[in-house]
Amino acid sequence: MRYFLFSLFLIAGVLACCAQQAKPQAPPTAEKTPQAQTAQQPQPSSDVPTTDGGAGPCTVDLTVLSSDGKPVFAALINVHIAYGFAGTRRLDMGVYTNNDGRARFIGIPPKVRKPPIEFRASKDQETGVAVYNPDAAGECQAKREIVLQKGK
């Protein structure tokens, strides 16, 4: 019986290891999957950097501005989303802004746990927040601005 359990655990471990290695690796593009925990690197072009959560149809376009109203290049925008039954699914995404201070999050689920979602932007010592509620009527496709302020 002991050898049977040992064999069973050994086979399960080998299968789990093979399944991890068999996952296709995405080429370095502007899109990210829900498994990606790291943010994308800054892009000097004017194309809008996009990260895809792959969890739903909702989209948020964000523009990051400095306190004097100018677009901020390479500001990091992060978001944490809990969704699914009792918030058991989690999605962490991040992206840097382009020259125009713009970034896009797609693939956001239409129902989240404890709305609204907070998009937190930071650059050097400045931070800012934008809120978004995909549950609200007509809010599945949204545009928001984040104005960066000096930290306290």
For the stretch 9-39, pLDDT in tens is: 556 665 565 544 443 444 344 444 444 445 5
Checking if the pLDDT of 6 tops 80, the result is no
For the stretch 59-113, pLDDT in tens is: 999 999 999 999 999 999 999 999 988 889 999 999 999 999 999 999 999 999 9
pTM above 0.85, yes or no: no
Model confidence at 138, pLDDT cuts 50, 70, 90, reads confident
CA distances from 71 to 27, 75, 78, 103 (A): 29, 10, 17, 11
Quote the Cα angle for 70-95-84, to 5°.
125
Q: What is the pLDDT of residue 151?
A: 77
The residue written with tokens 């995405």 in the block is 26
Q: What is the pLDDT of residue 42?
A: 55
For the stretch 43-60, pLDDT in tens is: 455 599 999 999 999 999
Going 125 to 96 to 58 to 100, the CA torsion angle's sign is: positive
Q: 3 in a domain, yes or no?
A: no
Q: 114 in a domain, yes or no?
A: yes
> Considering only CA atoms, which of 95, 144, 87 is closest in space to residue 111?
87
Owning domain of residue 111: 30-150
Q: What is the pLDDT of residue 123?
A: 96
CATH number for 60:
2.60.40.1120
Q: What is the pLDDT of residue 148?
A: 97
Q: 24 in a domain, yes or no?
A: no
Q: What is the pLDDT of residue 22?
A: 40
Q: 5 in a domain, yes or no?
A: no
Total number of domains constituting the chain = 1
For the stretch 83-94, pLDDT in tens is: 988 889 999 999
Q: 19 in a domain, yes or no?
A: no
Q: 13 in a domain, yes or no?
A: no
Q: 10 in a domain, yes or no?
A: no
CA distances from 105 to 19, 57, 91 (A): 28, 11, 12
